[in-house]
Amino acid sequence: AKAHSEGRNATLQGDGWTGVNFHHLICFMITVERTLHTVHVHDASSDFKRAEEFLKLIKEVMNLLRNEWHVTVVAVCTDASGEARKARRLLVQEMGNLVAPDCYSHQVNLVVGDYIRSKETVIYAYTKQADELISWLRSRTAVLARIRELCTELGKKPLAVLNAVITRWTAHYVAYSRLLELHDVLAVLVAKDEAMVPENRFLIPKKGKRDAKLKAARMVGILKSSVFWHTITQIKMFLEPLALAANITQAGHCRLDSVLLTFGYLMMVYTKRAEFHDRDPHALQVILASIERRWAKSDQDVFIAAVLLNPFIRASPFASIPERFGLANVYLLLVHLFERFFMTPAPSVLLTEVQDYFAESGQFSALQPMIHSQEALCANENVSPDPYGTWDMFRLSTTGGMQNPPPLVRLALHIFSIVANSASCERLFSVFGHILTKTRNRLTTRHLEELATVKMQIRDQQLADNELKSHVKRHFGKGSEAVTYATLSSALSAESSLMESESDPDSFSDSEMQSLEAQVRDTGRGFAGVAERLTTAVNEDGDDEDFSADVPWPRKFPPIPIAKLFDFNNTLWVNSYKRSAHRSFEEELKFYELVNLDGEGEDEDEEFVINETTEALV
């Protein structure tokens, strides 16, 4: 790890975790050119949970990286708790050459939490019904068989009923999306069952235990409820853009430009919905305000520069604002960042390089052919283009470029070395959780770290050799012809009619609302439990506004709202972002399909647990 990292730029990522032995551990990892390394795990059980203590710990790790790893830390990323954010602000105040982003995977989840909090009672009640319905359907093999038969009769490709076996809200979103895709089939199934004589019915059998028959009758009632389907459709439609955003921002190597484009995409989608026919303007305004609030807290200059220096899009996403995106002002922004990061005056040649970059001339005359070639190569491999690789080629094409790249290339490589989440720490904590159990709870922190490091190194090697995915496929069997992988971009056939339903979940009477509140008092497991954690995170997401005002980010230009920053009529960047987001989410959908392939007939209360290596593939 040290040999691979020596002499390179790195993002330091930190987060905290409490094990079953009640020890609170703070983990520090670095990302170096798309490779993760564990640096230090600190037992903070007896430490004061204050920003000053966390700042001291960050500095110690940075000294370790500088003196023993010979690594240049260009950014420090942690979660957005009040003390962690304050520690990062203090760090940037002391070391202005650093970038200290929030974990933007967490930030997107906070937007989801804001939405859920605005519709808490309705969301909890109807997602609980959906969870129960999915569990019931998956426990009835005869029903599943008839669903497959009806899909074929209706000219549809048979689809599996998916269960959210992973504790992420996106897993529940995928499960509800699949349930909506099966709406027409389930409606026909209910109609056919009711047309049969009582002795032949299979949804509510005449024989059997009383409790089972009552449960079946309640599930059929849900299947026939237009309000249920309408509400689940609305929840799905609200969460779909956020699900795509979550999958982008939780990537192991999430870039700053990806974060800003994600915020722009979300703002565009929800703004257009607010302008047209959406029935829930309050929830839309909550989401829009939440996005702007997350963006307002960011180091905006660096994010904007990351988009400008992405050669595949450059200034195309941004609105025509001469005082921000005229070439002279772009140059001033890049000069400001160059001098901030490298603490030396920008060389005069930087102006020529900026002009050549945007004009595709001089040193960058081969930029467009290179972009076309990389886009074609990435399309064949079904991956998104990486701007770091493009800039690295310009470094290698210059004399002495490895040690002394041209100023603009140096700045771009610096910015694209920054990772905008601490998801790597979360993955390490998952490994910790599988090692440190209630029956194996006396491991020392050092032994726990060493075991986890070995497991992650083995996993990384297997990923590099493409072994893990084949293991998953063999474990779950070769997908039968009955299973297909529907993309998120395909329209749900039932949605158009459902959205026109006269039943409006916002028009419940007082008695109906009291009934819903009674249903959600026991959140249990399922989406309600995930939603409760998200809303709790929103409530805990505090920021000392007085402190933030006293210690602003080192900006060249004043803050600008997302709504004014982007050109939402430019389809070039929107289509590019959507392709990348859908490609990423389709991989996750395929994994959920694999996990659910052998789950037919499972008990309704059965907990399905996957190992940490398999979970890491999502």
For 346, 453, 464, the CA distances from 422, given in Å and listed in that order, are: 31, 17, 21
Counted domains in the chain: 2
Residue 434's identity, in one-letter code, is H
Helix 183-195 crosses helix 141-153 at what angle (to 10 degrees)? 110
**Residue whose structure tokens are 């047309």:** 195
Q: What is the mean pLDDT of residues 353-368?
A: 94
Are 228 and 209 part of one and the same domain?
Answer: yes
Are 56 and 132 part of one and the same domain?
Answer: no
Percent of the chain with pLDDT strictly greater than 70: 79
| Cα distance between residue 330 and residue 556, in whole Å | 11
Task: Using alpha carbons, select from 291, 283, 301, 306 the residue that is nearest to residue 107.
Answer: 291
Are 138 and 210 part of one and the same domain?
Answer: yes
| Cα distance between residue 428 and residue 248, in whole Å | 19
In this predicted structure, the answer to whether residue 614 has a pLDDT above a threshold of 70 is: no
Poorest-pLDDT segment among 158-167, 304-313, 374-383, 585-594:
585-594
pLDDT in tens, 195-241: 988 888 889 888 888 898 999 999 999 999 999 999 999 999 999 99
Are 283 and 321 part of one and the same domain?
Answer: no
Are 61 and 136 part of one and the same domain?
Answer: no
Are 436 and 505 part of one and the same domain?
Answer: no
Q: What is the mean pLDDT of residues 266-270?
A: 94
Q: What is the mean pLDDT of residues 99-116?
A: 93
Q: Which of 468, 498, 528 is at the close of a domain?
A: 468
- Residue 483: what pLDDT? 34
Are 434 and 474 part of one and the same domain?
Answer: no
Q: Which domain holds residue 399?
A: 2-103+300-468
Q: What is the mean pLDDT of residues 259-285?
A: 88
pLDDT confidence tier of residue 525, bands split at 50, 70 and 90: low
Contacts of 166 (CB under 8 A, 6+ apart): 592, 595, 610, 615, 618
Are 246 and 314 part of one and the same domain?
Answer: no
Q: Which of 407, 439, 468 is at the close of a domain?
A: 468
For 32, 252, 301, 417, 424, the CA distances from 3, given in Å and listed in that order, are: 11, 21, 33, 18, 20
Are 291 and 312 part of one and the same domain?
Answer: no
CA 579 to chain centre: 16
Query: Burial level of 381, CB count in 10 A (0-12/13-18/19+)?
Result: exposed
Are 458 and 329 part of one and the same domain?
Answer: yes
Q: Where are the alpha helices (DSSP H) in 276-406?
A: 281-296, 300-308, 322-325, 327-342, 349-359, 367-381, 387-396
- In this structure, the strands spanning 72-77 and 9-18 are parallel
For 226, 457, 606, the CA distances from 223, given in Å and listed in that order, are: 8, 47, 22
* Pair of tokens at residue 382: 């079904």
| Cα distance between residue 137 and residue 86, in whole Å | 48
Q: Which of 444, 468, 492 is at the close of a domain?
A: 468
Dihedral angle computed from the Cα positions of residues 454, 460, 465 and 471, in that order, rounded to the nearest 10 degrees: 80
In this predicted structure, the answer to whether residue 605 has a pLDDT above a threshold of 80 is: no
Are 463 and 532 part of one and the same domain?
Answer: no
| Cα distance between residue 165 and residue 571, in whole Å | 36
pLDDT confidence tier of residue 261, bands split at 50, 70 and 90: very high
Are 127 and 83 part of one and the same domain?
Answer: no
- Residue 210: what pLDDT? 87
Contact call for residues 457 and 114 (beta carbons, < 8 A): no
- Residue 475: what pLDDT? 41
- In 521-611, where do the E strands start and end? none
Q: Between 397 and 81, where is the model more confident?
A: 81
Q: What is the mean pLDDT of residues 471-476?
A: 44
